[in-house]
Structures are given as structure tokens and as C-alpha cells.
Amino acid sequence: PGSSPCRSVIMGAKAVGVELNKKLLNLQAGEHLTPEFLKINPQHTIPTLVDNGFALWESRAILVYLAEKYGKTDSLYPKCPKKRALINQRLYFDMGTLYQSFANYYYPQLFAKAPADPEAFKKIEAAFDFLNTFLEGQTYVAGDSLTVADIAILATVSSFEVAKFDISKYANVNKWYENAKKVTPGWDENWAGCLE
């Protein structure tokens, strides 16, 4: 529940009407390093999806897979190459810039009791500046309707909120966030995980 990537998959599954059989792994106890789990996912990361024997990890890849396989329409991941390319760019932005800035700043404090790194904080601010620019005049992060990019970024931004990062300084992000909370299936479960 505390993992943004896991919560994004929960929201993505809800958006396409897939009921997940969730398994909670205790990472501190090394449950992701057992031979059984390593057979499914040798990279031993969460989330990992197993769909009728097909194993996939990396939350953004899982979101795309769920949308392509189970979406009743292509609205979450349209077939148009240009729309899809923009969604992919935003997914990669989330993975390599936005979520990464969260991990680089907060994880050392949470898991290693390290002091806050002001340089890492500047990277968070830069990531939010980029996102704010992407959202100029936009309701959604990649196009004119909710996509898997919104779902991934919503999970990440909600983690920033629960970590007390001031999202309100970024007007476009704040406006998008308030709307995304209302229109994204599974938001309630996402927020419950954040609070946990």
C-alpha cells in the first residue's frame, strides 16, 4: 500500500474492470527474495503481475498491458501512434524524473535515517516545474482524457502530498491533481495506501 507503483497498478486495474488477487509482500522480511518469487520475477521488484502464467513487472509496463489487454476501449492507451508516444513520454518522465526525484530525496531519509539532501530537493522542484509546464492549458497529462500516464503520475504525486511536499506552489499540477482525484477509478484505495 505504501508503494506508488503498486497503487498505480491497483488504479489501472480498477479503470479496466480487472479484479486483482493482491498478495502483500513483507520486503523487510525479504519475501521478495524467496526462490518462489525470484522464479516469477528475477529482478525481485514490486509490483509484479501474474496473469494466467504471464509474469510482468515495472508498474508502467503493467499499466499499458492492462489497458491493452482488458480495456473495453482504447481511451487509457489510444492506438494513435502520436497519442501513444506522448503517453509513453509521460510514463518515462514519471519513472525517470518525477518518481525518481521522490525516491532520491525521501528514501534515504526513510530507510537509512539520512539527513535531507537539499540538492535532491531541488530535483523534486525541477520535476514539478516540468510537470507544471506539461499541464499548461491541459486537464490531463497526455491528451484530452484520462490515460495510463495520469494514473501513474497520480500515484506518484499523491505520495508527494502525503510526504508534505507543497503541491499548491504549482498551479497547473494542483488543478490537474484535484481533478485526477475525482475522475480516476480506485483513488480511494490509492489514498488509503498513502496514509498507511
Catalytic residues: 3
> Greatest CA separation found in the chain?
49
Q: Where are the beta strands (DSSP E) in the chain?
A: 48-51, 54-57
Compute the chain's Rg from CA coordinates: 16
6, 158 Cβ separation under 8 angstroms:
no
What is the number of other CB atoms lying within 10 angstroms of the CB of residue 24?
9
Whose cell is 539532501? That residue is 117
